[in-house]
Structure formats: structure tokens, C-alpha cells
Structure 1
């Protein structure tokens, strides 16, 4: 059937676009529990239609989804393959009706979430549908769809860890590299919050009685920049800054969230330990540092190379050349790779513009990716 997956998937191209349009139309920003739970219900029903058992896993900011599909034939009792996805996006409700309308033009599909990563959800569903229709032999398949991946999966980390137990390999449905290559390793990623408490006072009549939390925060951020500069190849982005209220009041509170990316666990630990020891510059100021979310570095491995070789062979069986390279971005495959599970990511459709207003995919790569995943599931 290997050569037939490409043809079978091509026959689903129009339906894949329809389903993707339906998914994009149901906007699911991170943290909007009602929107995410409604989409989770949709996924649970879809995986049940495909012959699996699925459930919502409760979380305060939006429920996750876990599904298990039984294997068939001689491989039915073998360890499962794990697929990792997410249904949250970075876009607020209303983005679709504003500056990012759904549109198809010259084989390119635009819209919030088409690339990151509702296209990947449609690709996996289609592959599973093709396998069911052909009654092909395969290992069991396990699926975890996180609701807070875009903010580091703080509530999904334990779930991903638990569902990784006993699997033979893990595959992420995140976008691939621009040329379609898969992702074979990822930088570690941590979000850190620095909170400053100062003391309010009248900025003109009694400034000496105040302790500016904003001034303290600025000095702490300069210290962080200096600290990061002492390490090789650490990425640091101050993503948010808040504080104060009025120009005639010495600000009593301020905070910042910083995103870090690391190539190895030792550097990550050293940087986070150092930042955790920050001391106030001003008398009367208090500094509190907390790690909001963390994804450990996923390093290249011999097991990963072996998995890529098997996936490349599956790709050749459907007429595709599959390559792989290390990625700078982080995702839930960081965790499986760090845990020692052979992992690959980037099985979503080819496109560009993740987290950007020009987010888009190449429509033709939807059935191509579905054929590749069908070949992988039935050959590993």
C-alpha cells in the first residue's frame, strides 16, 4: 500500500482544506478555556469517529485531549507511536474577522493557526482515516493535544511525560523547516518572570521616600543582559514589561517576563541559577524571580538519527525525500527528546509566518504530509 498512500491522500485534498477552514474558523487563543474546551470536544468526537477512545483532561486554562487508537494485525500489541499536537493559537478571538481573514490564493492558504498548528491536526486525522479505510496493519497510536503549548505547556507537561511512558517513538505535528525538513532536536526554552516591589510616594513632593520599582526593574534587566553575555549562544528576549500607574507617583510595582533559549542543559541550569540569585540594587526594593515554564533542551542522539533514517525510508515509499535539521524553536517534543524517547518534529504542512500576520501554508503539502504519516504509522 505504500505507493498508494500518496494517491489516497491526494483524493482527500479538498476535504482537508474544508476541515482546516472549519478548524481555523473556531478560534482558540491560549487561556480562553471556553473556546479551547469547545474545540477539545470536537477533537474527542473526531478521534472517536476514527476508531479511537478519547477524553478531555481538565486544566484551568483549557482542557487537553488524549486519544488512543488500537493497532491492527501483527503489530497490534506492540508499543504505541505517540503524536504530539496543540489546539491553542497565539491569536485572539476576532483575528480571523479582522486583519487575518481565511483566504486561498495561488495554492497558498492564509489564516490564524493554519501553520501553527491546525494544519498539523488535519494532517494526522487524514492519515488515520486513510489507514482505517484501508484496514492496514499498524502499531497502536497515542495522541496528546495540549491546550497551552504556546506558553510552554505549563499544565500539559506532566501529561506529556505520563503519556510518553512506553512509547516507541514520538512525532510532533509542529510546522517543519521552511524547506520541509523535519526537526531533529530543539533548544531548551524557559520563561522567567522578574517581579519588583518598591515603595510608592509623591514623585515631586516626597520622592526620597519612594523606591522606584521601574528603575529597579531596568537595572535588573541590564544585569540579566550582562549575565547572559557571559555565556555562549544563549538567546534572551524581554517579552513584556509592566509597572507603575501615574507619572506623579513613584511606582511601587513592576515586572517583566523574559524568554530564554539554550543549546544544552548545563548552560540552561547555570543561567537560571544565576538569575534566581539576583539581588536588589536599591535599599527597600524586593526582587522575586520565578520560572513560569520550562522545556529542557532536546539534543541530537543516535536513536534520533536512527528514527530519521526509518522515516526517510517511509518517505521514499511515497515518493518524498525527507531530511532533518536542528531547530531553534521549542515545543512539546523537547520533553520527549529530553526523556530519551526517539523523537522527530515538523510533520505539519510546509508554510511560513508562525506567530505573524502573514501566517500561511502551501495547500499541496497537506495531502503530502498525510501520506508520509500514513506510511510511517504502517511501516515502523
Structure 2
């Protein structure tokens, strides 16, 4: 049975799907459709400017409970051609390949678990499975869809990778991507520097100010890119930076983002634009809920340790969790190397996760 699951992961990994590459994503969406087609149900497409998001709806059986939302994505951080230097391999119980760990193996687990649930003939709740195309850049086009699907949901299950070794994720830092765009005025850097306004100097000062704004516990700041096309003999009139922010506390998140949006130019005549590219609110779970209680009970029967704990990384479960929907994430196989050259997952985890998810869905009936 594990070989069959590995074949399904291999089929998805073979179709490279970097975020933003619409041609590649279209082919990958077709591969996801093929994975989900045997489940039946109603498969709807939601085209967007960053790719097509897929939603599968399955009716419940012998249960009048609210639906359970399953959450995943098929985009990856790897450009087309990565397979040539990072080929799909399986050796010594470990599978390797770009996007296999994050998170195409998780999609296979979700589909396999749903197949088991449907074949069991036992009561189960209705299911909504959403697979989005833009998660790796913060889900800017799919978040409204996620929010609508979360309405009325009894619980949400995320199929991202777990903590090392398999513990689930319950709680996530907020994650915001923003762009600082600065406009200045060009001039000759030697003959008439005083008439220019350096966008580069302005951007550097703004980044220093940003560092001061986020210098507090529970906030992470990473400047991911700097762009300033120009020449050394010309005062540059344009510059921008893309920045990632992480927040452990929703109140701090709101306070910092209000201050960031209020940032103003340092230099007279300079222009500053703060653009929020994507934003996922912090997910801070309340105490115990029915989903957690049920998951722990199922895991105990299966002899599985869940040990749910918060995660620093952001994902689409930020959205469901922040809306108050009981949520668990990390139901994909455990492994290592998300977004890294050594990306890999443990083959044995496929079957364990499949059984865990299937039994959890049945228990939620």
C-alpha cells in the first residue's frame, strides 16, 4: 500500500509547480485533479491571477454534523528545472524531491485518508477539501476563498509538514509580507548631487526605522530583497525592498502594522509607499476544544504521539485558526528540509498519517 502512496507523491512531484508560474501551475492543477477524481464528490475550480484553486466537497454519511475543512496547497518554492539537480529518489526509507515534503505528500495523505473514510461505510461528516495555488507567497488570492469555506466549519485540518519527528502544529505566528517602495529625484552624482533625492539613502533610513519598530519580543523581521536599478554616477530615483514579518501576539501585530502603515518619508520631496502583499493573522488557540480532545483520543488508540505545539512558520491554517475554527496542522508526513536542498520525508509516515486522519474524520462523525 505504501508503494501506491509513493507513486502518487512521485506523480505530483514530477509536475513542478513554482508559485506564480501559471503554465506550470496549470499542469500541476491537472495532476491534483487526477489525484482527487477517484473520490467523487463535487470538484470546483476557482481561477485566479496566481493560479487555479481547487475545492472538493464530499457529502456526509450518517452524520448531521457541520463540515470538516481540509487545507492544502500545490505550489512550491522551487523553479521549473529543479528536478534535474534534485531528482525524485527513494532510498533507506526516505523520499526526496522538490515539493515532496512541502507539501505534495500531505495532499496524498489527505486523498488516501478520504478514500479510506468513503470505503469504510461508517458515518462521517461532510468534508470540504481546498487546495490552493499561492500559499508559498502568503495566499494573497486564495485567502478570501479560505475564509468563505471556513464559515460554518466544525474543524479544520492542515496537511503541512509537522514539527520534526511528527508532533502536530497548534498555533502559528502571524505572517505579513510587505513592500517598501521609495521614489526620489535623479541627478548627476558629482556635478549636481544637491538637486537629487536618493531613493537608496531614503530606503536605507526607512529600513533602520522599521528595525526599531519591530524590536520587541515575539516579532521577527527579514529583509528578503532590495532593488535599486541605477548607476554610481547617478542619484537613484527609485528603490524598493520586500520584507517578511512574523508575530507571536495578535495585539503586537496590530500595533506594529499600524506603525508601519504610518511611516513617512525622512527626506523632503521623497515618496514612500507601504504595500502589504499578503497577511496572515496570528493563530493563538484557546484551551482544549473538541477537535484536540478527539485527536488525542484517536491517537492514543493508534499508539501515536501528537504533542501539539505552536509553530513559527505561517500557513493557511493561520486563517482558519484566527477565525476561531478548531484547527490542527502538521498532518503531512514528517521529514526535514522544507525550502532547502535536502527536502525529504519519511516513507513510513505516509501510512501512519493516512490512518490517523481517516480515524479522526470518522471519530468526528
Q: Secondary structure of the equivalent of 1:96?
A: helix
1:268 and 1:256 mapped to 2: Cα distance?
A: 20
For 1:82-161, list aligned pairs within 5 A.
Answer: 82-98=69-85, 100-161=86-147
Q: Does 1:273 align with 2:240?
A: no
Instruction: Describe how 1:171-250 pairs up with structure 2 within 5 A.
Output: 171-229=157-215, 231-250=216-235
Compute the displacement of 1:221 (Å).
Answer: 0.3
Give me the whole-angstrom Cα distance separating, in 2, the residues matched to 1:245 and 1:135.
Answer: 66
Map of 1:34 onto structure 2: 23
Check conservation: 1:110, 1:358, Cα contact below 8 A: yes
SS of residue in 2 equivalent to 1:302: coil
Q: 1:46 aligns with which of 1, 12, 35?
A: 35
Cα deviations by residue, 1:101-155 (Å, 9 ceiling, x for unpaired):
2111211111111111001001111111222333332111110111100111010
Cα distance in 1, alignment partners of residues 9 and 122 from structure 2: 25
Equivalent residue for 1:326? 310
Secondary structure (helix, strand or coil) at the match of 1:92 reads: coil
How much is the aligned-residue C-alpha RMSD, in angstroms? 1.3
Indicate if the aligned counterparts of 2:189 and 2:233 stay in contact, CA closer than 8 A.
yes
Alignment of 1:257-268 (within 5 A): 257-268=242-253
Specify the alignment match of 2:152 in structure 1: 166
1:61 aligns with 2:50: yes
Deviates most, 277-286 or 19-28: 277-286
SS in 2 for 1:258: strand
> Which residue number in structure 2 is paired with residue 3 of structure 1?
none
Take 1:244 and 1:198, find their aligned partners in 2: how far apart are those partners?
13
Please give the alpha-carbon distance, in whole angstroms, between the structure 1 residues aligned to 2:118 and 2:326.
25
Partner of 1:70: 59
Q: Which range moves more in the overlay, 28-37 or 133-142?
A: 133-142
Which segments of 5 or more consecutive residues in structure 2 lack a partner in the other structure?
none
- Which position in structure 1 is the counterpart of 2:335? 351
The residue matched to 2:275 in structure 1 has which SS? strand
- For the residues of structure 1 that align with 2:288 and 2:84, how far apart are their CA atoms? 45
- 1:211 and 1:372 mapped to 2: Cα distance? 60
Question: Is the 1:213–1:253 Cα contact (8 Å) retained in structure 2?
Answer: yes
Give 1:303 shift.
Answer: 4.7
- 1:161-202 deviations in whole A, cap 9, x for unaligned? 000111110010010000211111011111111000011112
Aligned residue-pair number: 364
1:265 CA displacement: 1.5
Matching residue within 287, 290, 300 for 1:316: 300
**Higher mean C-alpha displacement, 152-161 vs 274-283:** 274-283
Contact 1:303 1:342 (8 Å CA) reproduced? no
Aligned 8 A contact 1:47 1:53 in 2 = no
Q: Does 1:379 align with 2:363?
A: yes
C-alpha distance in 2 between matches for 1:64 and 1:366: 24
Query: How far off is 1:89 after superposition?
Result: 0.3
Provide the residue aligned with 1:284 in structure 2: 269
Whole-Å Cα distance in 1 between the matches of residues 32 and 217 of structure 2?
42
Q: TM-score, normalised by structure 1?
A: 0.93
CA distance in 2, matches of 1:54, 1:269: 37
Distance, in Å, in 1 between the alignment partners of 2:263 and 2:120 is 60
